[in-house]
Structures are given as C-alpha cells and as structure tokens.
Chain A
Amino acid sequence: MGEEVKDVIMSHIRRDIMNGTLSTGIRFDGRKFDEYRPIEIQRSVIKTAEGSAVARIGETQVLVAAKFDVVKPFADRPKEGVMITNAELLPMASPGFEPGPPDENSIEMARVVDRALRSAECVDVSSFFIDDDKVLGLYLDIYVLNHAGNYTDAATLAAIATLMDTQMPKIENGKIVRGEFTGPLNPTSLPVTTTMVKVGENWLVDPSRDEERVLETALTIGTTEEHVCAMQKGRGSLSKEELFDAMEIAFKRGDDIRKLLKE
C-alpha cells in the first residue's frame, strides 16, 4: 500500500508540474512532442546466438537475441517453420519489475512485437522447412536491460535489427551445425513501432518513465513503409481523430527509424 500512496500522490504532483511545462511546448527533457530520444543500435553483441542487437532509446536499453532450433511444425502448417517471441522484464531493469514468470505486461509487449513482425511478413518462414516433421524454429528473446520508458519501441527496434543481423544456420542430416552458416536471413521489410502517450491534452512520442507514470492514454502503432502492421491501445481512451493523427505521426517517425536501421 505504501508504494501505491507514493505513486498516486507523486503522480498528481508530477502531472501538474508536467502539464505546466508542456503548456509551454516542451517536455521535461527538452524534447519536442513528436521527437524521440537519441536512438542507437549495436549489432552482433551475443556471439553464441545466430543474431543479436541492443537498441537504446535514451537510457532505455533492450537486447534481443535470435536462436535457431530444429522443431516440429504446427499441425496446420506442416511446410512452414515457426517464430516464437518472448520478453523478459529483468528485475534489474526497473524497481517496478519483479522476479517470476512473465506477467501481463511482458506478455503483452512480446505479443505486440510479434504481431508487428508477423504482419509485416518480414521473415519467410517457408524457407525454414527442413524435412517432413522437421522445421527451423526461430526464437526471439527480448531482454529489457534498463527501463527508462518506452520499452516496446526499443524491443521492436532491437528485434528487427536482430533479424537483419541473423545468419541462417547450416543444416546437415536434419541437424543444425552450430557455428556454420549459409547466409543472412534478410528480412524483407522493416516494421517499426511508435508509442505515443497522452498527458493532459498533449500527445507525446516516445514517453520517458516520468511521462509514463502520469499518462492518461497509451497507444502503440506499428508501421512498414506503406502499411500499418500493428496497433495496441494500453490504458485510457481516445477519439478516432486522435487515432488517425497518431497514424500520421507513426509513419513519419517510423520512416526516421527505418533510415537509422539501414545505416
């Protein structure tokens, strides 16, 4: 209960101060409303995985690693490989994260990232076929290392950077030869998510932890170059006009991030 009282009182004070600052057109950290914190991507950080990347958005850091295994295909798709996305909100990453099995927040985040990648069809799972009853399974593990706000966008970014970094394993006699590769996975599109939150009357792109504490509405939109590929509303409500405006912003910021990814 102590935590709750602190959170409620603090967030009221924070909200008042924040609304005051926002009414002058800038955010606590000096950003414009539609501006991301500095974004940095580092690839091939885990040598034991077939692909990996760390994405930093401001102080938020998320690691994604890709591992292949030989698995059974799903019964309704015997010729296709599988891709499984899982997220861990590491207890070290935030005072609010606790050890234990994945909670609803990490499940939701993993499923939003998964939907964005899957809808964008960036991985051709039919190329994962090995033999009858044998296909490649691609495990994408998302590790949130430091949560300074907006881990969803950092996770999608690290995930797509990981897919760009991933090498296809060599297969011999239906088994993976570890450490030998046949070429890059080459994702065919670059899905990116853009998270926006409403504080007072203002929509803020890429919320900081402070902004997340006082948000009224949260919305994540995944985009490719031409399409919306995922949407998820978190807390709160919005009008359809706000939704349409948010899509516009998501395409713009998404294109910025796609440029970064191609560097």
Chain B
Amino acid sequence: MSDSKGKVELIVNGKRMDGRSADDLRDVKIQVGIINEADGSAYVEWGGNKIVCGIYGPRECIPRHGASPYHALIKCRYMMSPFSSLEEHSRSGPSRRSNELSKVIREVFENLIIAEKFPNTQIDIFIDVLQADGGTRTASITAAAVALANAGIPMKDMVSAVAVGKAGDMLALDLNKLEDNFGKSDMPLAISNRDKKILLVQMDGLLTKEEVMEMVDMVEKGCEKVHHIQTEALKRFYQDGNEKVKW
C-alpha cells in the first residue's frame, strides 16, 4: 500500500496520470472458464493487472482430520508470481502480505458460499497474480466471485470489489500502481451486490471520517459497474461457450 508521499505529480489539470477522472475505473475485462481442468475459473485483466483464478471443490478435505461435519471448509491461496512487478525478481512462494490477503479474501467468501450444503469437504480458491498494477486484491475478489459462479458453488449473493484512495489530494477510485505507491491513502472494499454489505474493508494512510464516507459511496458506484462486467462475462460464457484467452 502507500508509503511515500507525493513525490510524483499524480493530478494534472484535475485529471489523473492515465487520463481518468476521479471516479473512473480502469478497463476491466473478464473471461470465464479458461482452465478446463478446474471446476470453475476466471481470468481478469484490470488495467495492467492480469490475474487467474481456479476453483476446485467441493472435494475431500485434506488433511481429513481438519474437516468439519457441519460445513465445507473454504480455503484460499492468493499468490503473486515472482515476475509480476516491475522491480526485481521477487522470491516465489507465500509472503507475509500474501498470507494476510489469502485470509481476508477467504473471509469475503465465507460470508457468501452456502458451505452448510457440503459437510466434510473443502472448496479451494486459487488466485495467481501474473502481472500486477495496483489493486490486485480487489481484482482477485472480482475474479474469484465469477470463478465460483462458474464452478456452480451455491452463493447467497455476488460480490464486486474496488479500491479507492487519495491520489495527491484528490479522492480517486481504483488506484493504479503509481497512484498507490505515491498516493496518500488506500482503502480496498468488497461489497455484495444485492445486500450492499461490506465484506472487505482495509485501509491505510490518513483520512477523515467524512473522506471515508465519501469514498465508500464512490466504491459502491464502482462496484455496480464491475458487477455488470461480471454478469456479462458469465452470460457470454453460457450463451456463446468457451472463448480462447487472449493473454
């Protein structure tokens, strides 16, 4: 998230570096069913982010003694590839950051998946970030929601996620990598589409209460746009069938 302060001019003439205005999303493209071995899958291109998500399950819980006789266990593994950032080749495998993100993403879907239907099983959500450009956790949640629907996992609601932050002194929706690195604050949110419940909220930087309130409203509107893209992607898949991924 953000740490360095305003060394880069993030706002020029009221526009952001990539020409967007405050409440514009980057281009979001979603494709469904791209991994035929998985029970469900999705690929999301969100600005410069490229993220794949595969779902397995409900399947036998491993280790078996970890299983619950009451509900399916939901497991999530979020991982960044070592080649996903412009900086040096990072160490592959889990990091403290990815551990935390796996947990908060899992907690989003624990609210949605009707896990009581599948006692003694587990449902795996695998997320791999191939190319990162800021806002990977929100793009991952958006992808996972579509992939879970594609896997036929019963859910109470759908979810969309968008981050909002402060680029320079302007509240700005869907920060890209530069805005995130040099901006003053970052607040990712995931909101369920029907109930409008907040399923993920994290935040860093300094914000007043009024700013937070305005930012939540911005995300709500952004999530509606993302939700539309999600449903269109699912419709396309079930009407026209599989399309080959253009990486």
Interface residues of A (CB under 8 A from B): 1, 4-5, 8, 76-77, 102, 104-105, 107-108, 110-111, 115, 118-121, 219, 224, 226-240, 243-244, 247-248, 251
Contact = CB atoms under 8 A, between A and B. Distances in A.
B206 A119 contact: yes
B202 A228 contact: no
Interface string B200-234: 11111111110011001000100000000000000
A243 B199 CA distance: 11
A110 B97 CA distance: 11
Contact size range, B: 35 or more
27 contacts: A1-B68, A4-B69, A104-B99, A111-B97, A118-B3, A219-B201, A226-B208, A228-B203, A228-B206, A228-B207, A228-B208, A229-B206, A232-B201, A233-B198, A235-B107, A237-B192, A237-B199, A238-B197, A239-B198, A240-B216, A240-B220, A243-B198, A243-B216, A244-B209, A247-B209, A248-B209, A251-B209
Given A76-B4, A108-B100, 18 more contacts: A5-B69, A76-B87, A102-B96, A104-B100, A105-B103, A107-B99, A108-B99, A219-B201, A227-B208, A228-B206, A231-B201, A232-B201, A233-B104, A233-B107, A233-B202, A234-B107, A239-B197, A240-B216
**Interface of chain B, main secondary structure:** mixed
B201 A243 contact: yes
B204 A119 contact: yes
Given A233-B200, A243-B216, A224 B206 contact: yes
Interface in B168-219: 185, 187, 192, 195-209, 212-213, 216
B102 interface: yes
B65 A230 contact: no
B110 interface: yes
A118 B69 contact: no
A229 B216 CA distance: 16
B35 interface: no
**Interface of chain A, main secondary structure:** mixed
Contacts of A228: 203, 206-209, 212
Given A120-B206, A243-B201, A111 B100 contact: yes
A235 B74 CA distance: 13
Given A107-B99, A111-B100, A244-B209, A229 B198 contact: no
B198 A238 contact: yes
Contacts of A227: 206-208
B155 interface: no
Contact of A240 (B67, B198, B200, B206): B198
Nearest to B209: A247
Contacts of B111: 236-237
A219 B104 CA distance: 12
Contacts of B87: 76
B96 to A, nearest CB: 5
Contacts of A226: 208
B238 interface: no
A219 B201 CA distance: 9
A233 B107 CA distance: 9
Nearest to A236: B111
Nearest to A116: B204
Interface in B76-124: 87, 96-97, 99-100, 102-104, 107, 110-111
